[in-house]
A and B are shown apart, each in its own frame.
Chain A
Amino acid sequence: MSYKIPMGPYHPALEEPYKLDLICEGETVCDAKLHIGFNFRGIEHLAETRNYFQVVALMERVCGICSNIHTLTLCQAMEGLTGLTPPPRAKYIRVIMAELERLHSHVLWAGIAAKLMGFKTMFMTCFEIREKIMDVLCAISGNRVNYAMNRIGGVNRDISDPQAILKMVEALELEMAHTVIPIFTTSRTAISRCANIGVLTNEKAVSCGVVGPTARAAGLPQDIRRAAPYAAYDEMEFDVPVQPAGDVTARLLVRALEIMESCKILRQALAKLPPGEINTGDDKFPFTTGTATSRVEAPRGEVMYSVSWKEGSRTPSRVHVRTPTFANMPAIRWMVMGARLADTPLIQASIDPCYSCTDR
């Protein structure tokens, strides 16, 4: 006999509201239905009422964790409509901010995953490390979240002392290499909770169109930084970690390896930061009529913006956001099918879902 267990929209295992109706037989999940929309704020519609300065601030608030990525993608699309090209230094600063954001997002996820595994010590360790990354972000931007770094034609703030940031990054890299990654990859607690759990097959990953670490952990080597480089990524050397297993362990390993790759990119970007202006200095923008798209690799995967403008207008006529969690969340249904009920919170968390992004 099957029965339905509703999980959410408010539940201790969920960091944000969404609802999962789990159809179970005994302790085994047979099927699941996802319900989202609890954080729907109508941001795309609101964007049509905001001018080209205000819309950047608005879209920064789509997500608290990857706020920088949203303004970066939006500004790149708006630069496509204005014909502006950011100076080289601005492109490097965009890379530095994006990688710092990826680091803090991945370490935040590692902490939450540790908590869901019942590994509280590791949760505290991850959050201690994350604080140090937040300190670096704060040192650069003056803010812990919503950094307000991007603008049309460049960035708002310079990195005055790259060497100081480099020292912080090196310390972080050491701590992650010596603490977080070995524990996650070798500890019996982590392995017993993650191995062969929540498997997303390569075939299903392709048909669901999943992105980011969720795709890479199912054997798909896709990364927009590599496939369609933006900002200064074409000048960076880095690897794209791919794991074939498709389980929670694979997603954990991909993110762990990406932490090290982010540190590698940060060291290169800080060492090679070119001199010069940080933006084009424009404060009036000649938008042409048309639509521009932009894609970047956020911590959770590809973000895409389509921005439509009419010449002479101060407000966009349409802003459409396709977030990575919007692409990844439907795959949860396939990951939890056949899983034990007790594993479902960790399986859901393993895609690092962001409901604010998804609902907009």
Chain B
Amino acid sequence: MSPLETIAEKLGTTEPWVEKGGAHWLPLGAMNVRELATAMNGLRARFVTITAYQLPKEEGFRLEYHWDLDGQLLGFTFLLAGNSIESIYDLCEAVDWIEREIHEGFGIDFTGREYEPLLLRKGDTPGVNLRDTVAAGKEKI
């Protein structure tokens, strides 16, 4: 069994890994982000980053979580219909700044954590930089 297959087994999924765009992607089915973070901790994978994408026509957001395991970049996608997802800060200290940055840049709420003062700029309204509806003054968060 290859290391990636072992990971899939530990994550409890039978879906195959897809190697695409420089990373190995695994569809997670019903697994939530906290279960994933716990599993990654168990594998001693190194958290790399989260990339947020705003989907068109108010469809929500796509968050891509990345971990590194022995040089292999692992990718996991979560689709958000609204603008909140559970924080994994208490499970993975390394996500602190990127969760805060996404909160400020996209207005996504990582639930279950407190936010320090804003990372990127002064002010008290998250989401003015990248989230175009807020930037255009159409939406208040």
Contacts and interface: CB of A to CB of B under 8 A. Distances in A.
B22 A294 contact: yes
Interface in A225-258: 226-228
A144 interface: no
Interface in B56-100: 64, 66, 68, 70-73, 75, 92-94, 96-98
Contacts of B121: 37, 40
- A interface majority secondary structure: mixed
Nearest to A76: B22
Given A209-B46, A306-B64, A330-B96, A290 B72 contact: no
A228 B73 contact: yes
Given A45-B130, A224-B71, A80 B44 contact: no
B14 interface: no
B100 to A, nearest CB: 10
Contacts of B71: 224, 226-228
Interface residues of B, number: 34
Interface of B, secondary structure class, is mixed
A295 B51 CA distance: 14
Contacts of B94: 207-209, 327, 330
Interface string B106-129: 000000000011111100000001
A206 B44 contact: yes
Given A37-B119, A228-B72, A292 B51 contact: no
A209 B47 contact: yes
Interface in A167-209: 206-209
A290 B20 contact: yes
A272 interface: no
A320 B49 contact: yes
A345 B21 CA distance: 40
B46 A222 contact: yes
Contacts of B51: 306, 318, 320
Nearest to B53: A318
B123 to A, nearest CB: 10
Nearest to A224: B71
Nearest to B102: A320
Interface of A: 33, 35-37, 40, 42, 44-45, 76-77, 80-81, 206-209, 222, 224, 226-228, 290-295, 302, 304, 306, 308, 317-318, 320, 322, 326-327, 329-330, 359
A36 B11 CA distance: 36
A359 B118 CA distance: 12
B119 A304 contact: no
Nearest to B49: A322
B68 to A, nearest CB: 8
Contact of B22 (A45, A293, A359): A293
A81 B20 CA distance: 10
Nearest to A209: B94
B48 interface: yes
A318 B73 CA distance: 19
26 contacts: A37-B119, A40-B120, A40-B121, A42-B129, A44-B130, A45-B129, A77-B22, A81-B21, A208-B94, A209-B48, A228-B71, A290-B21, A291-B21, A291-B64, A293-B66, A293-B73, A294-B22, A304-B49, A304-B66, A304-B73, A306-B64, A318-B51, A318-B53, A326-B97, A329-B97, A330-B93
Contacts of A290: 20-21
Nearest to A222: B46
A295 B117 contact: no
B141 to A, nearest CB: 17
B48 to A, nearest CB: 6
A80 B130 contact: no
B121 to A, nearest CB: 5
A80 B117 contact: no
Query: Looking at B53, B72, B96, B117, which has the most chain A CB atoms within 10 Å of its CB?
Result: B53
B46 A295 contact: no
